[in-house]
Amino acid sequence: MSSLLITGATGFLSGAVLAKALSENAFDHYLLLVRASSAEEGLSRIKENLQRFACDEKSLSSLSLQNIIIGDLAEPDRFLNDERLLEVTHVINAAAVASFGENALIWKVNVEGTLKFARRMANVRKLKRFLHVGTAMSCIPEAGALVTESITHKEEEEHLVQYTWSKSSIEQLMLEQCPALPLVIARPSIVVGHSSLGCRPSSSIFWVFRMALMLGKFMCSLGDKIDVIPVDYCAEALLMLVKRRTVEERVYHVSAGDERSVSFAEIDRAIADALGQPPLSSDYRQVDYEDLIQCRREFKTIYGPCNERLMLRAMRLYGEFSRLNVRFSNKKLLGLGMPHPPRFVDYIRHCVETTRGTSIPEMMKVDFK
């Protein structure tokens, strides 16, 4: 009997994974690690999230309290003795504090708690695969590069945010300290929207593109490219990587690659098209962060009520990433038979549609928890 343990299923990536797995009857049983004060609350949090993925009634009603394991990776000792863990055959571990904000829990959860969890799972006899979800950005890519998967570890000072440092550190620690763990690492690039549901499941990162274009200036040039995939493609890849009997590599990018990455000029045109307005094109200006600071007084007029300091912080962080102009090679994943993802600009209209009437400050909350 196959039993999949998913962490982070109240979130964006694992929510998509669970919705897809249930619709395909991919596993015989599911165990879902959730933060909640009771199994009832945990189940209801999971179902609420599945509804954002348009999960059908049959799938929703197939879940019961038996599927819920209450637990917090900040306090893993409280759930690691649960006997149901002994029956787990596969794990997709995507729970993390996935925030560019400053959050004291980032290290505690993403590194310390996750390492304890991995050590525990390394002792589960029936476990066939532990798929850990990292992030492609954790390797500190060189600007302009087509990045291939590697497990080199860069110093903390080189990381733009603590989040990528924590994601890089946990990979290294699991490799060093859990030799018995059947570990495979999937590193998604930038996950934005869903190829048919747009931003209904989450507005994560989509607001950055809208924010920059509404301002008419940002730190990247329109010629720079960005590697974006939709969450349903990411879920399909994660399920393939966890289920596949043998995989030769330790690390896989889940990404658009060189072929399906898109330029900001294409994004400008596609968003303008969806909004029924002309693109910025030559009216757009590439600026540095100091120029963005100069126009902070305009923010409230452009974006509505907002916290100027938070907007500037977001612009600096995402601006630095946007001008990296990196693509992540997906050759290894394609080599396993995974199809190419759709291009961001091919489903961007759904993202525009599903965020119509939602302000930038409202949309960005999800990334600044």
What CA–CA distances, in Å, run from 117 to 111, 191, 240, 286? 10, 25, 23, 44
The answer to whether the beta carbons of residues 242 and 182 sit under 8 Å apart is no
The answer to whether the beta carbons of residues 94 and 135 sit under 8 Å apart is no
Distance from C-alpha of 180 to C-alpha of 323, rounded to nearest angstrom? 40
Residue 96 makes contact with ligand NAP by CB under 6 A? yes
Q: Which residues, including other chains, have CB under 8 Å from residue 170's CB and lie 6 or more apart?
A: 110, 111, 114, 115, 132, 134
Nearer to ligand NAP, 37 or 152 (CB): 37
Report in angstroms how near the CB of residue 8 gets to ligand NAP at its nearest: 3
Give the interface segment with ligand NAP, choosing from 89-97, 271-279, 288-296, 312-320 (CB under 6 A): 89-97
Nearer to ligand NAP, 11 or 279 (CB): 11
Residue 269 makes contact with ligand NAP by CB under 6 A? no
Query: Which listed residue (94, 111, 363, 364) binds ligand NAP by CB under 6 A?
Result: 94
Give the interface segment with ligand NAP, choosing from 77-85, 175-183, 186-194, 235-243 (CB under 6 A): 186-194
The answer to whether the beta carbons of residues 73 and 113 sit under 8 Å apart is yes
Query: Which listed residue (41, 44, 60, 72) binds ligand NAP by CB under 6 A?
Result: 72
Residue 98 makes contact with ligand NAP by CB under 6 A? yes
Residue 237 makes contact with ligand NAP by CB under 6 A? no
Q: Which residues, including other chains, have CB under 8 Å from residue 241's CB and lie 6 or more apart?
A: 129, 131, 184, 186, 247, 252, 336
Residue 193 makes contact with ligand NAP by CB under 6 A? no
Q: Which residue is nearest to ligand NAP (CB)?
A: 11
Residue 167 makes contact with ligand NAP by CB under 6 A? yes
The answer to whether the beta carbons of residues 152 and 269 sit under 8 Å apart is no
Query: Which listed residue (19, 91, 133, 240) binds ligand NAP by CB under 6 A?
Result: 133
Nearer to ligand NAP, 148 or 281 (CB): 148
Report in angstroms how near the CB of residue 206 gets to ligand NAP at its nearest: 10
Q: How many CB atoms lie within 10 A of CB 87?
A: 15
How does DSSP assign 17-84, residue by residue?
A: HHHHHHHHT-SSEEEEEE--SSHHHHHHHHHHHHHHTT--HHHHHT--GGGEEE--TTSGGGTTT-GG
Report in angstroms how near the CB of residue 281 gets to ligand NAP at its nearest: 27
Nearer to ligand NAP, 11 or 361 (CB): 11
Query: Which listed residue (5, 55, 69, 95) binds ligand NAP by CB under 6 A?
Result: 95
Nearer to ligand NAP, 11 or 257 (CB): 11
Give the interface segment with ligand NAP, choosing from 148-156, 183-191, 244-252, 281-289 (CB under 6 A): 183-191
Instruction: Compute the C-alpha angle 289/293/296, nearest 5°.
Output: 140
Residue numbers of the site for ligand NAP (CB under 6 A)? 7-8, 10-14, 35, 72-74, 94-98, 109, 133, 135, 167, 188, 190-191, 204-205
